[in-house]
Structure 1
């Protein structure tokens, strides 16, 4: 298998801001190949259609479905628990909870709160919007619109545009700035809304209504204590905060705020997080260092895309030898090697987590090493949805 990549992706995509993170010029080319039989994209397209068909059966999701209430008492407020926090075995009440890095407490991923539900919502909207675009089957767009309306617009079921009660810790705090990482999936939802609108599957009025929700949420991100706290984080949290603010600002038409956040990312996070070797020290100290390195690179890839749209080259930005290209290269060098050759802590080495970041790097850089690494990963997992979403990178 030999993958094809656009040699001038950055130049071409600057004129394609309608689709936010997605590079719709490349997606149109992929769509043509799918119509002609699929070629290299056939496995990913078939897997997408299976998931989208399943999503047609799902009822709309809503934050009002949770069984537990946040401190506000309002079911419309998003509520989640910190995933790495566990009952305290040394106290009768099990409070306060204690942290076990990299070990997910299953009780943080139930329907009692909203974290699992929002991920399911975002996943369904993603596959439905992509299926609507590639297959031109209106059923998928109709279903996506129904899910979006329930989550954002319907007064009985809508989510309030804040994250005051995200990643609470029983016995410690009702909500934390660090919980803002939860709404990274709303970037994917904004991508889906933009794609639906771009392809004629969403009315202008509905599009503007979603823009208003995102604009209000972006104001909360920028002005709330939780938002300001998250924006100062030195690891992937800070990068994902930048990605959210930038994506949501572009989505709502606030180009000035997007440009400002891109500059913030360059100096506060990119230059501070990547060393001259391309390593991300704050991620390498984690118990799941390979996962978190790729997770951070997924945010970097999105920021690189937003730089394309804004005319600010983040892919090529360098300060004192620190640059994104080196960070992607660290992961590329691990492709095809066993877990034992990754010299940092990793509880669950999962090679295919690098697929999205390396496809993004192969698109952005004229590098045979990136192309070969991405090709090798796709050969191992040809159904990976990242193949159908050029311009972005998905790492769960």
Structure 2
């Protein structure tokens, strides 16, 4: 309860009474220039640093529109190893832009990535959304853009979105990055709770008594102690976006070390968000756990303490009885934002 009070105090200290924050990228108002797009952030995202929007890729209505169309465009994979597929082929909106992976690692769902600066389970790409989208276009899809270049509709869309209207890898990646910045999930019942803490007038379902007990376990260093990696009441992303070894195996997969070539990074994988878990089973980078109950049991009973580079928070003893485990699972489910899976702004 002490920790809870501290977080509550932090929220009240930072509370603002004005409208939700906006990000208005600078844009030259030349005739024919793209229309600036104001990114409306949920009020309880106020404590987060604002998403990084590069000066050379301001958000525009036309850029976001093009990026969304490209997200669903199978022509993007023409000539590459995944010909006939689009981003949306593996990232289904009905599953929070996730799907069961045909590869050795699970698909990472697409939401709230505007706050990341390193991407993919093993941290292959460090930098901005533009950097990871360039990787997707050039290296993952190995995109042959000829079919898109020949499409009159795309010729107009690129001309609308960029003063340099070239249909090339850079503009393609930049448009995708703009769309990704708008993909914000922030409307679960737990979000409603945070909004009320923030001082907002929130309508909608509240947390149940069981979910409130689960939240106390989540925030309690002597119980669940989940917040060190997945964020407390001041972090609605529900991840610290760090790379850690959570003690899955005595001889873990390479993880981050695959790219850094450093022994101290062996077994470290990206901490996933706990948001929308009802849509994103199975869990862990390799999908080894099918249910949330299995995940909670692992952290309570099965952490491999001699796993190399194990994160210090994994070495704590988590003594949770059956009721406490059930309460924690109930709270995790309350982080589900079903509206995100039905938001027409993200539909083709």
TM above 0.5: no
More helix by share: 1
TM-score by length of 2: 0.27
Larger Rg: 2
